[in-house]
Structure 1
Amino acid sequence: MKEIVTIQVGGFANFIGSHFWNFQDELLGLAADPYGDPVFKNHSLNMDVLYRSGETQQGTLTYSPRLVSVDFQGSLGSMSSRGSFYNEATSAPPDVVTWTGNVSTHAAEPRRRNLFLQRLNEEEQENSTPVNNISGGRNDPQREIHDEDIVDYLDNGVEYWTDFSKVHYHPQSLYELGGLWMDSQQFDSYGVGRDAFSWDLRGEEISERLRFFVEECDHIQGIQFIVDDSGGFSSVAADFLENIADEYRNTPVLLYAVRDPGSYAIHKSQKQAISKNLHDAISFSRLSSLCKLIVPIGLPSLSRSKASALLCIEDQKPYHCSAVYAAALHSISLPFRMEALGPSADSRNVLGAFDVNSIVQMLSGQGRKNMVAIMDVAMPAPFMIGRQAEQSLLRNLQPLTPEIAEDVEDLQAVESMTIHGAFGTGGHRAPISEVKDMVHAAYENAITRPKFCNLSVALCPLPIPLPFPKIFRSVVGQHGELLGTPVNGSPLRGSLDVHSIPMAGRLRSSSAVLPFLENRLGNLRKFGTQQGAVGAELVRRWGFEKDELEDMGETLSTVVRELDPHLQVSSDSD
């Protein structure tokens, strides 16, 4: 088995991670449900790739994500930083032997569980052992009203990423950064993060948590790293990645640099705008230099994107936006845990298994060195039948990477696509062969075609757990099928109405990412390195010398030239 360790750093990264682990938890629950859909029982996915088995001191068997999460102190809401497997008694206050006066203790009341977490706790109390795969109880008519209350509450009341998490975490998984004495609005730039967090002082504790999960792996295939790079957590992640590069040199890191729409807010002053532009340039330069492949994710507005045709997303709610990005990450990561099939194996459930290193080499080593990939998603994916489907498959893929060019013809482009749970002839799940033929036909008839495209297919759709936002429009059916006539009643549908959906996700190495790179290169030079740059003093306060910035600029220039050798990238001396 080839294990993956997942790292989540920063607020929005943990929102995405919470949805991601809910999807995995739902798969586990549906596979164990004797009355469940057979497609979830024989999904040919090895969940041990992402999860670890363990045992508490009381002898209770556990199954928890192989995860290290880093966030602000106080970001866990009602959840303990020790997770939920170990219900430790509150320790008595220490005796102060050097003080003979009166001692008073001030303790804050623990945050109360919300409706969803209360319900989850009640269900677990009904079982003899902690359950890590609650399917939501949607088929129990006695709980239907309760479910509706929960869905409505979460849609309007989520404050923390733990508010909607249905997963048990290991005590080594959740790390809170204490002592920063600032809120997320102040922790808004690479420089602030660098000043507030010292890896020398606190990094060893975080490293120990990662080491705990890595050292128990038989053969780790890679690290899946999700970072909210819109502010100071980018600096924390860079230090973490630097440490990983030193300790695990042969372990590939697939980095998702994520942002919520709120990070694109218009700045009130020129100083703030300059700081933001320099942060974006320095953050990307540092992070991309410390991983094998970086995937920028996060549009300024999902509600105004192509995805809004089937989804109704409120951009101001991280609970909404993170659900879409988590669904895309789930789809992209499926090949990493597909059961490898030999010549005589049954290939009816999955096709195209590969590991993290394979996708990294595929996208970054095909004729040119490019460590930046674009992510696209079709949610739900269209039917896989007929000529119209051939055209709509590629047309319905919505880029989730910002600032990219559209309809670019790149003869050196390389793509990796994953499709799972697709519908085919007669409204049934399309067999692997049918999906494969349809995708090949779509590319054959496309105006622009990549140099190479890898395809992975699975029959198992994306399960929709109870704590999932009401974002589906009324043309989306119970199993994610696209209806000819909208459903009467509510214009929006959630987990009580839509139980699973077909998905298509794609990673691609393409010159379409050039605008993203050029904007960061241009801002680095304009505000940081050119003669009389207005941001020169700011980056010095962040701890960067001019020669460091010039090295970053040269590295970005090299990536731009690799993507388009005909493009003349001017140097600072021009």
Structure 2
Amino acid sequence: MREIVTVQVGGFANYIGSHFWNFQDELLGLAEQPHGDPVYRNSSMDTDVLYRTGETQQGMLTYTPRLVSIDFQGSLGSLRSRGSLYDEMPSSDPSHVVTWTGNVARHAAEPHKKNLFQQSLYEEQYKSTASTNDMETNDPSSQFQDKDLVGCLENSCQFWTDFSKVHYHPRSIYELNGSWIDLHDFDNYGIGRNVLSGSSQLEEMNERLRFFVEECDHIQGIQFIVDDSGGFSSVAAEFLENIADEYSNTPVLLYAVRAPDSYMNAAGKKKPILRSLHDAVSFSRLSSLCKLIVPVGLPSLSRSKASTYLCIDDAKPFHSSAVYAAALHSLSLPFRMELSGPSTDSNNVTGAVDVNGLIHMLADQARQSMVAILDVAMPAPPLAAGQGKRSFQESLCSLTPDVAEDDDDIQAVESMIIHGALHSGSRRASISEVMDSVNYAYQNSVTRPKFSHLSVARCPLPLPLPFPSIFGSLVGEHGELANPVSGSQSRGSVDINSIPMAARLRSSIAILPFVERRLGDLRRYGIQRGALGKDVVRNWGFQEEDLEDMGEALSKMVMALDPHSQDSSDSD
């Protein structure tokens, strides 16, 4: 068994996680359909890598994500923090405490009502329970239309739980006490440290993680997703410090994610300096506490090359998080593939690798860079069998910000996953056909990476019902790229069943502008004599020597990427 524990910290990280687990739930459902598409039933994927089995007090078997999710108080919408599978804990009404003789003031907020989609899930679960008890369930008035369910999410999605269709374990969801503040004020590294300071919350978070890790037979790694655009960055850093101490031999693959609206510049002179300092400190701290960090999140996904076939509304995290979740799902597939052996079905998957293998591949070769770039093609193009057709490599577009677009890096190292690939039309390509197409593209390319690992699976990305309507009219029912489809310009899970995907992690000199920018800002606003942000970082709890250490670490990272790079301190 090669288990993975997933950690999600912060609002946008949980938006991504909600989509991610919806994908897994959809795959589980399709695999159980006896007369469904065999590509899902025989996918050669081990779902136990991400999930755990359990049992309620009533003896009901459960299958829930091996997950720790951390977010604001009040961020769960209509979902209870203990999930919906297990009984609620007894009420902790302070008026019942007999040792307290003083007055008690009780403040209660009205519970959030379930939206149309969550109501449909509740009704579906009720019907399932009723049918088990041989009760009549044919009630035509309770039927929901799929287009109405998707429409309600498109127009009124407020929480990541609004579109989650997954059952969570009672120990999975943790609401951060003391975070009842305006989200826009929770925008810097220091405020997250203040929330944790002097409280027992960090140990409570560690206990949640310990529960899932200690029941693993042979954990292969921790998949850590953090919204690093504000105070949750420092919450994650404190959490990661404990993980490094307690699980020193367990590799951490860290995705530092950001929503498009987090890039909006506030008015005034102080805010841009605060933002630049936060970005520099956050990246420096997080990168020092993991084996590999992958920055994810463009300032405008809708105007990027990655949205060639998409219709994204940058103001909706429901939209952008779906794209990033699809990429993370693709990248996680090799961790779940059956390892090579006599019983392995090589007709469905190839290229299995565990978390440690991926990190060793990207971070320990060539320049020993611990920062990777995430590229995606969504949907992936049809197979390129000859001249004049775009290859998978040419269709990939970066989801990592501040990346050099044109880099001919002969020292680059990459790991690519392609799944559900199609020929022109809708016929699925075989594993060997995909591999031949990729090899053909490299043979006819002027530049190619120093090392490339390829994983291929025939199983496409299924689109669950709550997936947003973000595809353009050129995308067909199975993700094929065809002539424009008549009707609405935006299409989603009501119109499209699945899509082929290609995703890639690469260690390349193209990340150099990203690192140099953060090093330059750290020196300009935090380290240099008379720097405008010295008081800010001091209030965040950092001394001058701490910033010097951060600057030295980032400088070494720059030199590792490009030994001939001009030290940015000369220009600051």
**Fold shared by both chains (TM-score > 0.5):** yes
- Specify whether residues 231 and 91 from structure 1 end up closer, same or farther in structure 2 by C-alpha distance, changes over 3 A only: same
1:126 alignment counterpart: 127
Q: Is the 8 A contact 2:424 2:480 kept in 1?
A: no
Cα shift at 1:182: 1.4
Cα shift at 1:156: 1.1
Q: In the TM superposition, what whole-angstrom CA distance separates every residue of 1:89-141 from its partner, at most 9, and x where no partner exists?
A: 7637342546779877553332111110110011111223999xxxxxxxxx9
Counterpart CA distance in 2 for 1:58 and 1:286 is 45
Counterpart CA distance in 1 for 2:141 and 2:97 is 54
Alignment of 1:247-286 (within 5 A): 247-286=246-285
1:510 alignment counterpart: 508
Counterpart CA distance in 2 for 1:222 and 1:199 is 30
RMSD (Å), alpha carbons:
2.1
Counterpart CA distance in 2 for 1:129 and 1:235 is 46
Counterpart CA distance in 2 for 1:292 and 1:104 is 48
1:45 alignment counterpart: 45
Q: Is the 8 A contact 1:383 1:389 kept in 2?
A: no
Alignment of 1:56-67 (within 5 A): 56-67=56-67
Counterpart CA distance in 1 for 2:237 and 2:396 is 31
Write the letter of the residue equivalent to 1:559: M
Cα shift at 1:68: 0.1
Q: Is the 8 A contact 1:424 1:430 kept in 2?
A: yes
Alignment of 1:102-113 (within 5 A): 106-113=107-114
Counterpart CA distance in 2 for 1:455 and 1:199 is 47
2:303 alignment counterpart: 304
Cα shift at 1:170: 0.2
Cα shift at 1:392: 3.7
Write the letter of the residue equivalent to 1:307: A
Q: Is the 8 A contact 2:474 2:484 kept in 1?
A: yes
Unmatched 5+ stretches in structure 1 = 132-140
Q: Is the 8 A contact 1:424 1:434 kept in 2?
A: no
1:169 equivalent to 2:168? Answer yes
Q: Is the 8 A contact 1:363 1:508 kept in 2?
A: yes
Counterpart CA distance in 1 for 2:130 and 2:387 is 50
Q: Is the 8 A contact 2:516 2:568 kept in 1?
A: no
Q: In the TM superposition, what whole-angstrom CA distance separates every residue of 1:536-565 from its partner, at most 9, and x where no partner exists?
A: 111111111111111111111111111111
Q: In the TM superposition, what whole-angstrom CA distance separates every residue of 1:480-531 from its partner, at most 9, and x where no partner exists?
A: 0111x21111111110100100000000000000000000000000011111
Q: Is the 8 A contact 2:523 2:569 kept in 1?
A: no
1:370 alignment counterpart: 369
Counterpart CA distance in 2 for 1:481 and 1:142 is 36
1:495 alignment counterpart: 493
Q: Is the 8 A contact 1:298 1:401 kept in 2?
A: yes
- Specify whether residues 142 and 458 from structure 1 end up closer, same or farther in structure 2 by C-alpha distance, changes over 3 A only: farther
Unmatched 5+ stretches in structure 2 = 133-139
- Specify whether residues 344 and 464 from structure 1 end up closer, same or farther in structure 2 by C-alpha distance, changes over 3 A only: closer
Alignment of 1:165-204 (within 5 A): 165-198=164-197, 201-204=200-203
Counterpart CA distance in 2 for 1:92 and 1:197 is 23
Counterpart CA distance in 2 for 1:387 and 1:513 is 31
Q: Is the 8 A contact 1:390 1:442 kept in 2?
A: no
SS in structure 1 at match of 2:36: coil
Counterpart CA distance in 2 for 1:211 and 1:230 is 26
Alignment of 1:139-154 (within 5 A): 146-154=145-153
Q: Tell me the number of residue pairs that the alignment of Structure 1 and Structure 2 aligns.
A: 564
SS in structure 2 at match of 1:435: helix
Cα shift at 1:343: 4.9
Q: In the TM superposition, what whole-angstrom CA distance separates every residue of 1:374-395 from its partner, at most 9, and x where no partner exists?
A: 0000000000142257634222
- Specify whether residues 98 and 563 from structure 1 end up closer, same or farther in structure 2 by C-alpha distance, changes over 3 A only: closer
Which of 541, 545, 560 matches 1:562? 560
Cα shift at 1:81: 0.4
- Specify whether residues 530 and 333 from structure 1 end up closer, same or farther in structure 2 by C-alpha distance, changes over 3 A only: same
Alignment of 1:233-244 (within 5 A): 233-244=232-243
Counterpart CA distance in 1 for 2:105 and 2:193 is 36
Alignment of 1:336-485 (within 5 A): 336-343=335-342, 345-388=344-387, 391-424=390-423, 427-483=426-482, 485=483
Counterpart CA distance in 2 for 1:247 and 1:89 is 29
- Specify whether residues 572 and 459 from structure 1 end up closer, same or farther in structure 2 by C-alpha distance, changes over 3 A only: same
Q: Is the 8 A contact 1:390 1:438 kept in 2?
A: no
- Specify whether residues 311 and 455 from structure 1 end up closer, same or farther in structure 2 by C-alpha distance, changes over 3 A only: same
Counterpart CA distance in 1 for 2:415 and 2:130 is 40
1:214 alignment counterpart: 213
Cα shift at 1:181: 3.7
Counterpart CA distance in 2 for 1:398 and 1:129 is 48
1:20 alignment counterpart: 20
Q: Is the 8 A contact 2:381 2:390 kept in 1?
A: no
SS in structure 1 at match of 2:7: strand
Counterpart CA distance in 1 for 2:87 and 2:550 is 48
Counterpart CA distance in 1 for 2:102 and 2:509 is 70
Q: Is the 8 A contact 2:188 2:275 kept in 1?
A: yes
SS in structure 1 at match of 2:54: strand
Q: Is the 8 A contact 2:383 2:391 kept in 1?
A: no
- Specify whether residues 387 and 144 from structure 1 end up closer, same or farther in structure 2 by C-alpha distance, changes over 3 A only: farther
Write the letter of the residue equivalent to 2:379: P
Q: Is the 8 A contact 2:471 2:492 kept in 1?
A: yes
Counterpart CA distance in 2 for 1:432 and 1:217 is 32
1:69 alignment counterpart: 69
Q: In the TM superposition, what whole-angstrom CA distance separates every residue of 1:38-68 from its partner, at most 9, and x where no partner exists?
A: 1111111100000000000100000000000
1:7 alignment counterpart: 7
Calculate percent identity across the aligned residue pairs: 66
Counterpart CA distance in 2 for 1:213 and 1:567 is 44
Cα shift at 1:427: 3.5
- Specify whether residues 498 and 570 from structure 1 end up closer, same or farther in structure 2 by C-alpha distance, changes over 3 A only: closer
Write the letter of the residue equivalent to 2:128: N
Cα shift at 1:462: 0.2
SS in structure 1 at match of 2:161: helix
Counterpart CA distance in 1 for 2:563 and 2:241 is 30
Q: Structure 1-normalised TM-score?
A: 0.94
SS in structure 2 at match of 1:386: coil
Which of 520, 544, 558 matches 2:518? 520
- Specify whether residues 121 and 203 from structure 1 end up closer, same or farther in structure 2 by C-alpha distance, changes over 3 A only: same
Write the letter of the residue equivalent to 1:154: L
Q: Structure 2-normalised TM-score?
A: 0.95
- Specify whether residues 144 and 508 from structure 1 end up closer, same or farther in structure 2 by C-alpha distance, changes over 3 A only: farther
Write the letter of the residue equivalent to 1:148: K
Counterpart CA distance in 1 for 2:292 and 2:498 is 30
1:134 alignment counterpart: none
Counterpart CA distance in 2 for 1:506 and 1:89 is 43
SS in structure 2 at match of 1:127: helix
Q: Is the 8 A contact 1:404 1:512 kept in 2?
A: yes
Counterpart CA distance in 2 for 1:79 and 1:344 is 42
Counterpart CA distance in 2 for 1:569 and 1:130 is 69
Q: Is the 8 A contact 2:461 2:501 kept in 1?
A: yes
Counterpart CA distance in 1 for 2:285 and 2:145 is 47
Which of 479, 483, 486 matches 2:484? 486
Q: In the TM superposition, what whole-angstrom CA distance separates every residue of 1:268-321 from its partner, at most 9, and x where no partner exists?
A: 111111010000000000000000000000000011011222000000000000
Counterpart CA distance in 2 for 1:199 and 1:348 is 55
- Specify whether residues 90 and 248 from structure 1 end up closer, same or farther in structure 2 by C-alpha distance, changes over 3 A only: closer
Write the letter of the residue equivalent to 2:192: G
